[in-house]
Amino acid sequence: MDKILRINMGADGGPKATEEPLGDYSGLGGRAMTSAIVSKEVPPLCHPLGEDNKLVIAPGLLSGTAAAMSGRLSIGCKSPLTGGIKEANAGGQPSQVLARLGYAAIVLEGKPRDDIFYKVFINKDGVTITPDNSLKKLGNYDLVDKMKAEFGEKIACMSIGPAGEMKMAGASIACTDMELRPTRHAGRGGVGAVMGAKGVKVIVLDDTGMKMRASKDPEKFRAANKEFVAGLRKHPVSGEGLPKYGTNVLTNVISEAGAYPTKNFMWGSFEMCNKISGETQAQTEIDRGGVATHGCHRGCVIRCSGIYMNKDGHYLTKQPEYETVWAHGGNCGIDDLDAIAQLDRLDDDYGLDTIEMGATIAVAMEAGIAEFGDAQAAINLVKEVGKGTPLGRILGNGAEVTGRVFGVERIPTVKGQAMPAYDPRGIQGIGVTYATSTMGADHTAGYAVATNILGVGGSVDPLKPEGQVELSRNLQIATAAIDSTGMCLFIAFPLLDQPETFQALIDMLNAFYGLSLTADDVTELGKKVLSFERDFNNRAGFTAQKDRLPEFFKKEKLPPHNITFQVKDEDLDQVFNW
């Protein structure tokens, strides 16, 4: 992983690929790499869909190695949704394959001067860029089938569906899983629209003939990895709850805590949540011959995903995650798991962020476009997006655009990005993260739910403002560092509770690269990444007033606790004062 691949899509004579050494980006990976390149090379005031924006795809520091959980991929750019910097994170196989091919990053630059879409093929022999308009308008599933027929089964793909082609701000980039299904998505912020603007429909990776990345000290690396895996398996969240019930194990937990946003953030609990819970979902999968415990990439030991079959026992989609089940379920008043799974399948196929789409449909329901609880209407609305009708184009550009078009006051967004499945009035710490994250409303940027609700890493009362700023700050720093390693964020649960597991991660990095990092160095890496991102957003025109929640969270009391968001604005302004 010693080089950067740049592909200029607007070069004279057609797209051109060049390789270069890491240079100033040496020692960076994942989110640190994407945010460093975007912050340094992308003009902050450029149009997100213009030639000056860049799409940066980077495996993590430990991707392509034997390290467990190291297959996460970072994709960065200036976001069409927020207007600020973006890092969207995805699982699946591409990160491992790209790293084994030796690339620390792919940078898509420029913009085609024609109306042609291209496929990019990368293997040990180099890069081939081919115009192929036969791929236009294909959904991700049919597209990947076509790539398998052309390039064989030993590939990994990153692709966009029709939403990305139409440059919708809710468009995602699909990454294939171990079964070569396009089910793992870099979903947030409209990264798929930027890939579409670059004229790239699919990037196909083939690491045949390439070996696993070798560490500087193999013996110490193996020992640290063994200790790390043991820590993951003995923690109740990463070792029990997530493998058994998937991320949707949280549905009952968050609803009982009174922080489950229901019917466009009107209430904090959903009376029908048992019908769509992780427990019900896992049993449904097992009963139909699906799989309730499954990894999204090789080397995953938590295995929080699954395979969801329809009523006839045929594959429908991967196990819908907690965020997806909430967004298309309780947030829209829908309690039908099959309908939610169908919506998940459509989102994956069209290439849409499930969080943004679910939040958007709930806003549309509040506007009277459909009734809350009408699952078929929700399915029809997503199909409108896939077809690119005028209504579909409005919806495909997210909750904020939809709310403005239809005159809705309650729009749950920050910096233009829709909030995920935790109401900030019921979990005040996640409200701080939503407000201040460089990415817009994003639970993964600093997952305060862990400490506010699950008691991981200590305990901070979720209903009181005290301690929330410090909690969010520390978690945002830690998350930025984890995102740079290529590790799945779910390793944070044991890392917060088990010092020896955190040390094992540091030992792996040191053994692999021949370094002598300490915990303080990891903290400094997180701060460095956030500084890149804050600097870009400041130059893009973001002020402190952008680090705020919508007014209704301060005015409307959330049942059942009947409280508002209570962290003061002046305290929000202290999050990045380290």
Q: Can you say how many angstroms the Cα of residue 447 is from the centroid of all Cα atoms in its chain? A: 13
Reported as type and span, the H/E element at residue 130 is: strand 126-131
Query: pLDDT band at 304, cuts 50/70/90?
Result: confident
- Could you state, in order of their start, the residue ranges of all structural domains in the chain? 3-205, 216-245+424-578, 252-423
Mean pLDDT (whole number) for 424-442? 98
Q: What is the pLDDT of residue 426?
A: 98
Structure tokens at 512: 């692999």
3-state helix, strand, coil in the chain (%, to 5): 45, 15, 40
Buried b (16+ CB within 10 A) or exposed e, 242-251: bbebbbbbbb
Higher per-residue pLDDT: 136 or 246: 136
List the one residue out of 200, 207, 14 whose CA is nearest residue 107. Answer: 200
- How much is the pLDDT for 111? 96
Q: Evaluate whether 171 touches 351 at the Cβ level (below 8 Å).
A: yes
Under CATH, to which class is 216-245+424-578 assigned? mainly alpha
Residue 99 has pLDDT above 90, yes or no: yes
Amino acid letter, 162: P
Strands 118-123 and 126-131: antiparallel
Give the dihedral of Cα atoms 396, 399, 405, 407; nearest 10 deg: 160
User: Which architecture does CATH list for 3-205?
Assistant: 4-Layer Sandwich (3.60)
Rounded CA-CA distance 197/191 in Å is 10
At 499 the pLDDT is 95
Flag whether pLDDT at 295 surpasses 90. Answer: no
Stretch 320-348: mean pLDDT, rounded? 98
Of the listed ranges 272-276, 291-295, 335-339, the least confidently predicted one is 291-295
Is 316 strand, coil or helix?
strand
Give 280's pLDDT tier (boundaries 50, 70, 90): very high
How far is 539 from 198, CA to CA, in rounded Å? 24
Among residues 510, 496, 413, 511, which one has the least CA distance to residue 454? 496
Q: Is the pLDDT of residue 228 over 90?
A: yes
Is it true that the peptide bond before 412 is cis, omega within 30 degrees of 0?
no
* Residue 331 amino acid letter: N
- Above 90 in pLDDT, residue 297? no
CA atoms of 439 and 475, how far apart (whole Å)? 14
Residue 296 has a pLDDT of 85
Mean model confidence pLDDT for the chain: 96
pLDDT at 270 over 90: yes
Per the rule left: phi > 0, alpha: psi between -120 and 50, beta: everything else, 361 is alpha
- What SS3 string covers 18-69? EEEECHHHCCCCHHHHHHHHHHHHCCCCCCCCCCCCCEEEEECCCCCCCCCC
Encode pLDDT of 392-417 as tens digits: 999 999 999 999 999 999 999 999 99
Distance CA 78, CA 537 (A): 9
Cβ atoms of 359 and 412 closer than 8 Å: yes
Q: What is the mean pLDDT of residues 542-553?
A: 97
Q: For the chain, what is the largest distance between any 2 Cα atoms, rounded to a whole number of angstroms?
A: 63
Residue 185 binned pLDDT confidence (cut-offs 50, 70, 90): very high
What is the average per-residue pLDDT within 47-60? 98
Is pLDDT above 90 for 213? yes
Architecture (CATH level 2) of domain 252-423: Orthogonal Bundle (1.10)
CA angle 417, 423, 429 (to 5 degrees): 90
Q: What is the pLDDT of residue 33?
A: 98
The predicted-structure confidence for 435-492, as pLDDT tens digits, reads as follows 999 999 999 999 999 999 999 999 999 999 999 999 999 999 999 999 999 999 999 9
Q: Is the pLDDT of residue 1 over 90?
A: no
The single residue listed with the structure tokens 């805590």 is 257
Is residue 59 pLDDT above 90, yes or no?
yes
pTM: predicted TM-score of the whole model, two decimal places? 0.97
Give strand pairing partners of 88. Answer: 75
Handedness of CA 149, 152, 154, 157 (dihedral sign): negative
Tell me the C-alpha to C-alpha distance, in Å, between residue 384 and each of 11, 367, 394, 484.
35, 17, 10, 37
Q: What is the pLDDT of residues 351-367, one digit of tens each?
A: 999 999 999 999 999 99
- What does the angle CA 372 – CA 373 – CA 374 come to, to the nearest 5 degrees? 95
User: Which pLDDT tens digit goes with each residue over 68-88?
Assistant: 999 999 999 999 999 999 999
Note the pLDDT tens digit of each residue in 119-155.
Answer: 999 999 999 999 999 999 999 999 999 999 999 999 9
Helix (H) or strand (E) holding 8, with range, is strand 3-8
Give the residue from 360, 418, 376, 344 showing the smallest Cα distance to 181: 344
- 3-state SS of 420-462 is CCCCCCCCHHHHHHHHHCCCCCCHHHCCCHHHHCCCCCCCCCC
